[in-house]
Structure 1
Amino acid sequence: MELLSLRNASKSFQDHDKKIHAVSNISLDIFSGEMVAIIGPSGSGKTTLLNLMGVVSVPDLGEVFVNGQTTSNLSDTKRCQIRNHFFGYIVQDFALIEEDTAMQNILVPTLYSKQKRTSTEYRFVVEDLANKLQVKDKLKTKVKNLSGGERQRIAIIRSLVCNQQIILADEPTGSLDEENANIVIEFLRELVNKENKTVVIVTHDLNIAKRCDRIFKLTHGTLSAF
């Protein structure tokens, strides 16, 4: 069964006297255990589409289904519960707290998780992920003292700490050099292949996209297979 589905989903914004159709009538099925890339130029609607997929925003028209459940007519509280249960988010600006350590930032999602894990168990998870992404020695460092690439990898670990099934990644390698970008993509690929996770990547980098199972191109809010 589809883990994530969009049916004729559209989203528009008003820019002064002009209406911007960011996402136009998109239908898409995404399954467990696959890695999907969405490419397209800046301003094509990629982040808006990712927000619809992750139930961060609601379509003006159409519907988004998560694990077979409709989401558009749910209360804010119910949508929040779905986000916390199913989704890990990797955002472009990292959304990290500068004065806190990397570990403190990573553990923020655990405050809202309903998983019955102790703080010690979560820390073991974090250390394992940090070791794989080669930032274990940075966990006690304040974010303000980390490089852009280190921040990127800390944000990725934060998206995975609660073991959500779906990872939505907005330019996950954007701040990384080629070597570290390769480490991140191989790591995400391993999550898909070995743990049956679902990963959706928004990227400008066609070389990154080609390492996914399927590629879609978004142009002026319209999605097509690449």
Structure 2
Amino acid sequence: MTIELKHVRYSYPDTPDKLVLDINHWTVAAGEQIFVHGPSGGGKSTLLNLLSGILQADTGEVSVLGQRLDIINGRQRDRFRADHIGYIFQQFNLIPYLDAIDNIQLAHQFASKKTLSSLKADIKSLLSSFYIDPTDWHKPVAKLSIGQQQRIAIARAIINKPELLIADEPTSSLDQSNRDNFMSELMAMVAKYNTTLIFVSHDLSLAKHFNRIDGLAEINSAGADH
């Protein structure tokens, strides 16, 4: 089992009496690709931050790839995330003055299990597969289009071939053409590496790409509060 949550509760520190997440039991098997949907402010990003160890649950068990994230410290969670989890952020989180190759290489530097032998070739292959022109590989990413930045963020998330890939509203800034290409390439990549994918969005038109669709309100008892 890639993910198992048991009796997980979480409230923001400044509003401790208001539950954001209250999940009795939720599991994700290895290799599953799951579409999780729900309205803005419903706790989707909070769930992803718990699964990646950015946040720690107030109570309950958060098991990811056999590791209990609720009982290890912040530094250990950071190391676990770097080694095992790819994360596509809604706001990209790219370093604006670095070029595409350097941004992607950063993810490699934070992980401890990879070798450098074919890294540059892998990066260039990914950039090509996401239709980033070679003339743009060495430009500061701040000078590239939003669509290009989004695809570079995807490449960075999967360069280490993570066992678990988390995507937080990753198509929100893409036009129809780029969105279709993004979904096609993303699903091909996770299939190639048998990666478990948790894909969160409020855009239900994307659900057609997934075999499993979970509404956050169905697994989160606190959802009614939002």
Give the TM-score normalised by structure 2.
0.90
> Residue in 1 aligned with 2:203?
205
Say whether the 8 Å CA contact 1:10–1:59 is kept in structure 2.
yes
Say whether the 8 Å CA contact 1:216–1:223 is kept in structure 2.
no
Q: How far 1:139 sits from its partner (Å)?
A: 1.6
Q: Which moved more, 1:66-75 or 1:121-130?
A: 66-75
DSSP-derived class of the 1:192 partner: helix
DSSP-derived class of the 1:72 partner: helix
Whether 2:135 is the aligned partner of 1:135: answer: no
Whether 2:165 is the aligned partner of 1:170: answer: no
Task: State how far apart, in whole Å, the 2-side matches of 1:133 and 1:124 are.
Answer: 14
Residue in structure 1 matching 2:121, options 121, 124, 130: 124
Q: How far 1:14 sits from its partner (Å)?
A: 4.4
Q: CA RMSD in A?
A: 2.0
Identity %: 32
Task: State how far apart, in whole Å, the 1-side matches of 2:194 and 2:52 are.
Answer: 18
Whether 2:102 is the aligned partner of 1:104: answer: yes
Q: How far 1:195 sits from its partner (Å)?
A: 1.9
List alignment gaps of at least 5 residues for structure 2: none
List aligned pairs for 1:146-161, cutoff 5 A: 146-161=144-159
Task: State how far apart, in whole Å, the 1-side matches of 2:62 and 2:37 are.
Answer: 20
Task: State how far apart, in whole Å, the 1-side matches of 2:46 and 2:193 are.
Answer: 28
Say whether the 8 Å CA contact 1:22–1:45 is kept in structure 2.
yes
Aligned amino acid, residue 135 of structure 1: I
Task: State how far apart, in whole Å, the 1-side matches of 2:222 and 2:192 are.
Answer: 29
DSSP-derived class of the 1:159 partner: helix
Task: State how far apart, in whole Å, the 2-side matches of 1:192 and 1:104 are.
Answer: 23
Aligned amino acid, residue 107 of structure 2: P
> Residue in 2 aligned with 1:57?
55
> Residue in 2 aligned with 1:7?
6
TM-aligned CA distance change 1:36 to 1:153, over 3 Å: same
TM-aligned CA distance change 1:223 to 1:107, over 3 Å: farther
After TM superposition, which residue ranges in structure 1, 4 or more long, deviate above 4 angstroms? none
Matched residue count: 221
Q: How far 1:68 sits from its partner (Å)?
A: 2.1
TM-aligned CA distance change 1:192 to 1:223, over 3 Å: farther
Q: How far 1:136 sits from its partner (Å)?
A: 4.1
List aligned pairs for 1:182-201, cutoff 5 A: 182-201=180-199
> Residue in 1 aligned with 2:112?
114
